Structure 1
Amino acid sequence: MKIHVWNAFASNNSGSYTIVGRFPSEELAAQVAAELSEVLAAHEQWFRSPTAPRSGEGSRRETPSPLRAFAQVHSLTQGESDWADQGELRAWSTGHQVFLHDPCTLSLPDSYEEFLRVRGGKVETRIRHAHADIVSLFELRGTLPKKTKAETVRALVEELHADDGPLVTLAPFNLQPAWREGSKPGEPVLTVGAVFHDRDLATGFTAVEGLARRHGLDVTVRVSEEQDSRDSLAWLRPSHPPLKRKMFDVWLLEAGYSPKEVARRLGELRHGRYVDVPGLLKALPDTVLKRLTLSRAEQAVRFLREGGANAELRPAE
């Protein structure tokens, strides 16, 4: 007789959560986002205080946590809001939309969606427990004079790709942004697709909206989870209008005397993304960062060389 015994542990990995609500006016959306941001900040401060109760202690304070008090005031589902560690959950508004995004959590309580509805909005998108990147599609709309429309679009595309532009500083190297100028009635003036690092989502959205507003354009954002590591923006390529400025790739020729240090630096340049050192070494020479402005490419090459790497920049194809 044979006896087989397995010893295994369940995996319950955290993922990102994204909730998008839409409101009748931009003013109301901004107000709702501000209310959520205020209670999230207050709860995080409360949660980190040494006197806050912890799960399993068997009793709660007589005074409820900021999240629990918020839920009580608005008659929302309370759940375990006293013990919720939501330090990375952020709320912000873009036009008529309110976004809630946590880059790494097991779950979010239903009370957030309930609050959006209580305040007069509707939930239009929810992405629960995503492990792939969040793809953001920005639709820029507005009325521009025909004589200056093309010029305005070109200027905006260049600004998005400035040295400090969101499509340069916040976009990962492995999925480049794409865009297309609208040419038919009813189409957006400009559609921009991008992937931002999870923790840069709010910063990226705010930056794109700010540049669009400067040119008199409103922004609506559609979000989805990247599927199977395919190019979710292929339908927007080749991008139009093309960039005037030249972009550069960073090539890693040799890892040098300290491959781990080079991998660490490369991970930092890739916004903290994991770098497989053995796989990296096998692939050399190879492109490790793509389509950077000249200034940022020079900075990246210098940073890698300081770690012992043999790196250089080349014009992007």
Structure 2
Amino acid sequence: MPELPEVQALSLDLSQRLADRAIAQVQLAAFSALKTFDPPLSAVEGTFIEGVTRHGKFLDISAGGLHLVLHLARAGWIRWRDEVPKTPPRPGGKSPLAVRIVLDDDSGLDITEAGTKKSLALYVVRDPQDVEGIARLGPDPLDDDFTRDRLGEILQAAGRSQIKGVLRHQGTIAGIGNAYSDEILHAARMSPFKPATSLTDDDLTTLYDAIHDTLAAAVARSEGIAMSELKREKKTNLAVHGRTGKPCPVCGDIVREVSFADSSLQYCATCQTGGKPLADRRMSKLLK
């Protein structure tokens, strides 16, 4: 799933590609992707693009006073085409193409979603805050107002909730998903199951620094990288996420995994849990 660093990089890349361009057409291939009806999708056709910004994991293309807001969900992505096909996509086909944005010189963007579970979402709104997911977002962890004290308030409000879940909850902190929450907790040397209110003052400082440093470094690495290379860049720089069974780059211990119904987390027992493996609930049920 694209998270804050990748969406920020996409925003910067698209800002350069779409500057002073106009939207000729928006071709919908997957009707389930469009989540709004007023204004209609056609309202952005024939308008000039004014800018591209990010709200958490949402991408916002402003054009003609409206906002084309995109959430790529778990398996969505954007591909640049120097020239789009002359024939519009056929709705309801088996292609991963969900939406095609055609520009005034016949170049454009293909917005795709892999897999069978379709969660990609497209909105046309007058104000980004009209998108419920954006209106509910917590503070952006790279904004100046996301301070150590603000993080402390968030953790206190979360009570005994596990720190992994607090980091991932978009209404609490915007933009952090499964991958970067694993990376942040590894950098902070904290268990993903640690209760939010159990952190000491030193723990709070350590976690705050890990959030900022991990995300800022990922954004810096991604800056200037073409959208076609972003997935590879992310994967090659992860310390624990998606690296089950491989050596931890810090201590050399084996990266371990805890599996859930529809996701998993990765961690290093030596670095994060005092050498104690966490219970994998799914494997425990299979062994009974």
**TM over 0.5, shorter chain:** no
Larger radius of gyration: 1
TM-score (norm 2): 0.29
